[in-house]
Structure 1
Amino acid sequence: MVNNGPTAGGFVSAGLVQIVQRLAPGGIEVLALELARRLPGTNPIFSLDGDTQSLVGAWSALAHAGPVEGFAKAPGLRPGLVVSLAARLRALKPRAVLVHHIGPLLYGGLAARLAGVPVLSYVEHDSWHYDAPRQRTLTAALARIVRPQVVAVSQAVAAVSRTVMPGAAVRVIANAVDTERFQPAPRAAARAALGLPAEGPLVGAAGRLEPVKGHDVLLRAMVEVPHARLALIGEGSARDTLRQLADQLGVAERVHFLGHRGDMPQVLPALDLFCLPSRNEGLPL
């Protein structure tokens, strides 16, 4: 069920409310959808950026997800968004609020405290953004003000989080793989379904097409393996730049841009080698 906006009806109570920056295809967002689906009861997801209709229109998986609300945050600091979020949380009366990353901690954390939500948890998915002093200062201040339970996806992220938020009890809950969904399958059938050549080595990478994911490094590496092909699964702002780079490197004929896929258990068996060239990851699983 998809709610039509922050002021629309459709559900009147919630178990867990998750808050993300923008509900678009990505690792954090897929995790949020899976968590909402697997937990009992109704578990809405709030997106600070984007309105509900545009979010659902851009990601078909949301049409079959649980309640989704977009709050259409405008650029810049928006104190009024805290008030809007708090009003929705008071109406829903969730048992807990789970915020992913710093923006949702700022707006969602303050809103959860204003609304009197019993449990507030903050998940830190990576630590590279703490290289920016402003990010460290803001996170430290918010941790003192809203006092969230802090969860890190790896020991490395937890170590940095403890230095940024001294005194906070940081618990590690590592990312995991659902081995019932992700299982070996015939390679030929998987490639045929994707329209990929049946023969020859195939390297694959899945992730947002953004500079931090390092797909440019992988494209340059393909020059050194002229007998192999590359499948890039994902969408992002760097798509056109990566296509141009593939042309410049002379590997474009061997690179397949597959776009966002919601069927990764069926895609992965097509690969001979999975490569994660990210420049930064919280837990490169």
Structure 2
Amino acid sequence: MKTQPKGKKIIHVVQHLAPGGLETLTLDLLQFAKKEDQVLIVSLEGTREQALKNWTKLEPFQSQLVFLDKAPGVQLNLILTLMKAFQGVKPDVVHTHHIGPLLYAGYAAKITGVPARIHTEHDAWHLNNTKRRRIQDMALKAAQPTLVADATCVYNQLKSTFSYANITTIKNGIDCQKFKPSSKEAARDVFSLPHDKTIIGCAGRLETVKGQDQLIKALTLIPTNAVAVFAGQGSQKEELEQLAKTLQVSERVIFLDLVDDMVNFYRSLDVFCLPSRHEGLPLSTLEAQACNIPTVAMNVGAVNETLCPKTGHLVKRNHIPHLSHALLQAIADNKNNNDLSQGPRQFILKNFDVRNMVESYNDIANGAYA
């Protein structure tokens, strides 16, 4: 009789389970885990009701989600709560994402003897803050996890910031079987987008850090046949609408709010644009290029590591004329080159498939990086 492989109990801990790149990646780690593994995601903040209302993508995973509804500020009793939970569940792996989960869950996992502790650093720009550096240094020494950088530039900054030996790099990955090319016309019909326009797409929270205002400003330097379409919600929507009105491009700016069908969103585009002021290693540029969409992005964080060297355009940060020039070049390249067989999708397939990412994390859980 064939013996069934013994699975692991894996707990991912995030600060707040809401739409975002870090949280999407955590869901991928859950979804693509080995069948024999038992995987949970713990959100320190928020409630189940709030999370499901704000992000329908969570619905298929409801039974694997736990919400602790943490109050604002430091809550040391949360460490005790997590210790009791870990003592009861006896996880083989506790995987923390960002500094808050590292402080609470990383330490609780160390105290309760969880065998494999992993902490992924999804960006490094926050380490420019002296207080944050000190807190993270303290948290790493207390939890002693395997420290994972999701990009080469993040790895380099971690190595130069902390005297911490156990650091490795595992780049973010996406589901290339889900994000793949298909009919542009059919995808535009899904969102009632015009067929006779050049569409520049942008996906992300409508917040200052994501830089949607920079794309709207660049639009004024691009022929009027081009329109910008934004997927995402956020506090800056009214300000962005007002900016478009002031710059007299309101008729060329479309807000779709939160989009659940991101695959067809990318497929509907001629060019994808990431105008962010800060990033780690973004998923949106990976997803767009997996759909074979040429991509233009600001040179921040690890964005340069995500762009196809043949079709991607890297822009000087906060430089509007350079952004508009890159968009014009990408649009022209796309029109003049219908054969993208060696284009962005092939680059993503080779370097950023989610299955390779999950396998690398499994190696850590099995002691490969100990």
Give the counterpart of 1:216 among 213, 217, 235: 213
Inter-partner Cα distance in structure 2 for 1:229 and 1:276: 15
Aligned-partner residue type, residue 18 of structure 1: H
Q: Contact 1:200/1:227 (CA < 8 Å) preserved in 2?
A: yes
Residue 27 of structure 1 corresponds to 21
1:118 and 2:136 matched:
no
Residue 271 of structure 1 corresponds to 269
Q: Contact 2:185/2:268 (CA < 8 Å) preserved in 1?
A: yes
1:127 and 2:121 matched:
no
Q: Contact 2:201/2:271 (CA < 8 Å) preserved in 1?
A: yes
Q: Which moved more, 1:123-132 or 1:252-261?
A: 252-261
Give CA-to-partner distance per residue, 1:28-58, whole Å, 9 cap, x none: 1111111111102321111111122221222
Residue 8 of structure 1 corresponds to none
Aligned 1:213-252 pairs, distance under 5 A: 213-225=210-222, 226-252=224-250
Q: Give the length in aligned residue pairs.
A: 273
Q: How much does 1:114 deviate?
A: 2.4
Change in Cα spacing, 1:270 to 1:164, as seen in structure 2 (3 Å) is same
Give CA-to-partner distance per residue, 1:200-227, whole Å, 9 cap, x none: 1000011122211111111111111222
Q: How much does 1:123 deviate?
A: 0.4
Q: Contact 1:52/1:71 (CA < 8 Å) preserved in 2?
A: no
Change in Cα spacing, 1:74 to 1:14, as seen in structure 2 (3 Å) is farther
Q: Contact 2:184/2:269 (CA < 8 Å) preserved in 1?
A: yes
Q: Which moved more, 1:48-57 or 1:235-244?
A: 235-244
Q: Contact 1:14/1:92 (CA < 8 Å) preserved in 2?
A: no
Give the counterpart of 1:175 among 150, 157, 172: 172
Query: What root-mean-square deviation, in Å, do the aligned CA atoms of Structure 1 and Structure 2 show?
Result: 1.5
Q: How much does 1:14 deviate?
A: 6.7
Inter-partner Cα distance in structure 1 for 2:119 and 2:236: 29
Aligned 1:1-285 pairs, distance under 5 A: 15-40=9-34, 41-65=37-61, 66-225=63-222, 226-283=224-281, 284=303, 285=306
SS of equivalent to 2:38: coil
After TM superposition, where is structure 1 displaced by more than 6 Å over at least 4 residues in a row? none
Residue 291 of structure 2 corresponds to none
Q: Contact 1:99/1:108 (CA < 8 Å) preserved in 2?
A: yes
Give CA-to-partner distance per residue, 1:144-185, whole Å, 9 cap, x none: 121110111111000111122212321111123432222211
Inter-partner Cα distance in structure 1 for 2:220 and 2:136: 42
Q: How much does 1:243 deviate?
A: 2.0
Inter-partner Cα distance in structure 2 for 1:22 and 1:70: 9
SS of equivalent to 1:109: helix
Inter-partner Cα distance in structure 1 for 2:142 and 2:98: 16
Q: Contact 1:16/1:43 (CA < 8 Å) preserved in 2?
A: yes
Inter-partner Cα distance in structure 2 for 1:165 and 1:270: 43
- After TM superposition, the score normalised by the length of structure 2 is 0.71
Q: How much does 1:140 deviate?
A: 0.9
Inter-partner Cα distance in structure 1 for 2:248 and 2:167: 47
Give CA-to-partner distance per residue, 1:66-124, whole Å, 9 cap, x none: 51111111111110111111211222211101111111111111121122211111101
Inter-partner Cα distance in structure 2 for 1:115 and 1:240: 48
User: What residue ranges of structure 2 are gaps of 5+ in the alignment?
Assistant: 1-6, 282-302, 307-370
User: What residue ranges of structure 1 are gaps of 5+ in the alignment?
Assistant: 1-12
Q: Contact 2:56/2:260 (CA < 8 Å) preserved in 1?
A: no
Q: Contact 1:149/1:168 (CA < 8 Å) preserved in 2?
A: no
SS of equivalent to 2:239: helix
Aligned-partner residue type, residue 269 of structure 1: R
Aligned-partner residue type, residue 252 of structure 1: S
Q: Contact 2:40/2:64 (CA < 8 Å) preserved in 1?
A: yes
Q: Contact 1:128/1:280 (CA < 8 Å) preserved in 2?
A: yes
Q: Which moved more, 1:232-241 or 1:79-88?
A: 232-241
SS of equivalent to 1:161: helix
Q: Contact 2:107/2:143 (CA < 8 Å) preserved in 1?
A: yes
SS of equivalent to 2:213: helix
SS of equivalent to 1:236: coil
